[in-house]
Structure formats: structure tokens, C-alpha cells
Amino acid sequence: MANERLRAALLSKGIDIEQLAEAIQVDPKTAERWITQGRQPYRKHRYAAASFLGTDESYLWPQALTREQVASASESEIITVHPHRWAVPRDIWGRLFAEASQEIGILVYSGTFIHDDHGLMRVLADKARADVRVRILLGDPDCPNVVQRGRDEGVGDSQIERCRNAIHWYSSKLRPSGAEIRLHQTVLYNSIYRADDQLLVNTHAYGQPAGDAPVLHLRRVAGGDMVSTYERSFEKTWDEATPLES
């Protein structure tokens, strides 16, 4: 059976079989059989190919790792768990964004605590000017899910106003530096803050403000499945969101 995930990963990156084979030092015919015949590479080649394509080994070859191996690697992705978002030290947020060299992503409804922190906003703007891809996903204030979130938290229309304020502040502070901003209408199961291979995931609890909910600090580990799950969630939301300028 052909490996369509590997084929799609190559196409999305604009990479052909020869380039992949050269990058990980295997024969092109061997790499071609990974796609056309579904052959499974040796572990070192799976890891090298996944790293080269910027994706996860367990996504490209889901049958290659045992459940125990995936579970063990995924557990290793957890750096720490903070009981509340307000309990996350500020310097962790600062280091998360300041150390990013490729991309930063923020998925929130309003992310008020970020745009109220002038130091963090300056870091985000500086990163965007330094050609780090900065993407911000904010809640569409006119969508039913934002309205419902305000009701669930007992703050009524304040959630709508928070989103409108966020659009103003993120737009005025970050768009001139090159950051991309889109509005989403999803049910926000988690707020996600990503920087290269690290994530801070603010889980949400019904009827509780986001600041009181736990935060998972994650770092990608080869063979793990947690970081890639949240990254796919972020990308799906991004793809379905509306660019702010439209």
C-alpha cells in the first residue's frame, strides 16, 4: 500500500524524491519504494526524513512504532504542568517567544494578558521583523462561539469586547512588523502558544476563566504524539480562519 502521507508531505514542501534521498543519504530508488510500496525505512531514516520534512515520524509511519513507544515518547514531551495560567512565570512566556527562530503561533479568543504586556508584544514584533513567521488567531467577535464563551464564563458581552480590543491591539502593534492575523469562529477547546518545537497549551474548563485553567508546557520529542496533535489543531484552525484584512 502506497504511503500517501509521505507523498503529500513531499508535495506540500515542494521536495522531490531525489532531494529527500540526498538529504538523508539513501538511494533514490529506496526512498521511492517508501512511497509506492509502503516500505518502512530503518528508524534512523524515518527520523531523518521526518525532521527534513518538518513533520512527525509517527504521522508518516503510524504503524512503525508500538503503542508503548509512542506513549513513552509522548510522556517525555511534557516539560511541566502548571495548575493555572496565572501560575506560569512571566519569564517562561518571554523565553518561549524570544528563543523562536522559525515560527510563532498564538491561538486564542482574545489573549488579553499577552497584548497587555508591552514587553511580550515587543518581542513578537521584533521576531516578525527578523523573518520569524508570526501568526495570530483571534476569535471573531461576531461568531456564536465567542458569545457562548462569554455566557459560560459569566461575563456576558465582555468576551465580545475583549475580542474587539484584541483585534485592535494585535493589529496595531504587530501587523506593521509583518505578523499575520486571522479571525476564527471555532469552539476554543484549548488556547495554544507555539514557538518552534515548544508549546504552552492552556486547557479550558467549562464555566472557568482561562487564567484559572491548567497549562501544559510541551517540547517535541521524536516519536511523540502530543505536540503534533496540537500543531495539527492549530493548522486546521488557521486554514479555516479569515484573514483580518478581508
Q: Are 181 and 194 in contact (CB under 8 A)?
A: no
Q: Distance between CA atoms of 176 and 150, rounded to whole angstroms?
A: 30
- Whole-angstrom CA distances from 8 to 3, 67, 122 are 9, 24, 37
pLDDT band at 20 (very low <50, low <70, confident <90, very high): very high
Amino acid identity, position 54: G
Q: What is the mean pLDDT of residues 214-235?
A: 87
- 221: cell is 520529542
C-alpha distances in angstroms, 97 versus 9, 11, 139? 27, 29, 21
| 82-129 pLDDT, tens digit each | 999 999 999 999 999 999 999 999 999 999 999 999 999 999 999 999
Spell out the residues 6+ positions from residue 125 whose beta carbon is closer than 8 angstroms to its own: 173, 174, 176, 177, 179
**Predicted TM-score (pTM) above 0.85:** no
Would you call 94 helix, strand, or coil by DSSP?
A: helix
Q: How many residues belong to the chain?
A: 246
Residue given cell 485553567 in the structure block: 213
Quickly list DSSP for 23-76.
Answer: HHT--HHHHHHHHHS-PPPPHHHHHHHHHHHTS-HHHHSTTTS-HHHHHHHHHH
* pLDDT over threshold 90, residue 228: no
Q: What integer pLDDT is reported at residue 58 of this predicted model?
A: 76
Nearest one of 125, 145, 134 to 104, comparing CA atoms: 134
